[in-house]
Amino acid sequence: MTETVLITGGAGFIASHCAVLLLRQGYQVRALDNLDVQIHGVERRPPAYLDKRVELIIGDIRSPRVVKRALVGADVVIHLAARVGVGQSMYQVADYTDVNSRGTAVLLEAMVERAKRRPFSRLVVASSMSVYGEGLYRTAAGTLAPSVERTPQRLKAGLWEPTDASGNLLEPLPTPETKPVSMGSVYALSKYDQERLCLLVGRAYNIPTVALRFFNVYGPHQALSNPYSGVLAIFAARLLNNRAPLIFEDGEQRRDFVYVGDVAEACRLALRCDAAIGRVFNIGSGRSVTINQVARLLADTLGVAIEPEISGECRMGDIRHCFPDISRACSVLDYCPRTTLEEGIGKLVEWLDGRVAVDRVGEALTALASRGLTV
Ligand code: UD2
């Protein structure tokens, strides 16, 4: 029998890739999305990239009536709906908390009600690497340092690398799911809320739930004109407008960029794997790179000779290094990231061809600086 999947945030970048993959697997796909202006523009039209076979319900995740309707006949749910912007979350506190945390609560209440008549076979919730704050580090003496934070004083002095109590530099290590969480932004806190709410309510009401902590997801369909989206989309928007990418700090901060197709595959696996129920998984590519490296790779792949500009600024709440240990996802989910950064950036660049991006980075930095949210 054909299974129906409801994807919340279903007109978004990650959702569009999940939809294609799941349609190919024989699922019927329904999307619930409010077509947020920041992502979809003032016209709020359904995006051209969304597969025509997807049934799109336009509405808000916070509306019990809309969510109830979206759940009719759904067998599984992938919950991706969220406001996504670390910096912006620090001044739109009520809205981020409302959409992400309360929106998830509304979804869960509706699922619990519906499950009385017909159970769900899975709920997959998109959590985030942001719940870790700084990643895991090791001291020079070889002990693990799981609770590192950078002080504003050091950041103001341009001392970007975290140190131990005696001022010795720390070595970043792959972060496992067992590292204690440490939320440094309202966005991160709301993603942790989403993750915990889903796991907790899922467990109480027998809705088999899996949480995926996505690292830095990139690829085609990423919102180019949203200055709060991922760094690769932001750099692409700058380069398409013949402007230099602005690199914060010194560009030596490390991240794991995971291709969106691999993230969609992780979602598919989480729908199927019973051993995953009730657990959280890091979803990354398994390779870390510096922001300087990705900036260069993107410019080279685009074939533009614009040097990135090191701004020496830092956004409040930004972390220095965080990249995942993905061994749990590999062994339990059978997750195996297939797209290398070079291939993924190649696909991003192909998609960028002929696209127009409004570069709003300056606006976003001013918004942050005027609130004292930059260092
Ligand atoms: C944040 C979230 C992550 C995810 C992502 C969405 C944290 C720790 N992580 O990751 O969960 O939601 O956002 O995109 O909250 N950078 C520049 N120039 C720019 C923009 C960014 O140098 O114009 C740097 C930035 O300082 C950071 C790195 O690039 O060191 C990555 O930034 P990001 O905003 O793409 O993502 P990140 O890792 O803060």
Q: Are strands 76-79 and 171-173 parallel, antiparallel or unpaired?
A: unpaired
Instruction: Judge: domain 4-370, CATH 3.40.50.720.
Output: yes
Cα of 216 to ligand 1 centre, how many Å? 8
pLDDT at position 314 is 86
Task: Tell me how crowded residue 89 is: count the other CB atoms within 10 A of its CB.
Answer: 24
Alpha-carbon distance of 222 to 20, in angstroms, equals 15
d(CA 225, CA 246): 15
Check pocket membership of 233 for ligand 1, CB cut-off 6 A.
Answer: no
Report the pLDDT value the prediction gives residue 165, as an integer from 0 to 100.
87
51-55, 95-99, 198-202, 312-316: range with lowest mean pLDDT: 312-316
pLDDT of the residue at 121 = 98
pLDDT per position as a tens digit, 306-342: 999 998 888 878 899 999 999 999 999 999 999 999 9
> In this structure, what DSSP letter does residue 227 have?
T
> Quick one: what percent of the chain has pLDDT higher than 70?
100
pLDDT at 331: 98
Domain ranges in the chain are: 4-370
Residue 205 is encoded by which pair of tokens?
Answer: 């009401």
Dist CA 95 CA 42 (whole Å)? 19
pLDDT for 57-99, tens place per residue?
A: 999 999 999 999 999 999 999 999 999 988 889 999 999 999 9
**Ligand 1, residues 134, 136, 234, 248: which to mutate, most atoms within 8 A of Cβ?**
248
What tokens appear for 324 in the block?
């995942």
Residues 6+ apart with CB under 8 A from 173: 135, 136, 137, 138, 144
- Residues 33 and 305: their CA atoms lie apart, in Å, by 38
Q: Identify the residue whose C-alpha is closest to ligand 1 atom 3.
A: 130
β-partners of residue 117 are none
CA 327 – CA 282 distance, rounded (Å) = 8
pTM summary value? 0.96
Q: Report the 10 Å Cβ neighbour count for 361.
A: 17
Q: Using CA atoms of 63, 121, 197, 129 in order, give the dihedral in degrees to the nearest 10.
A: -110
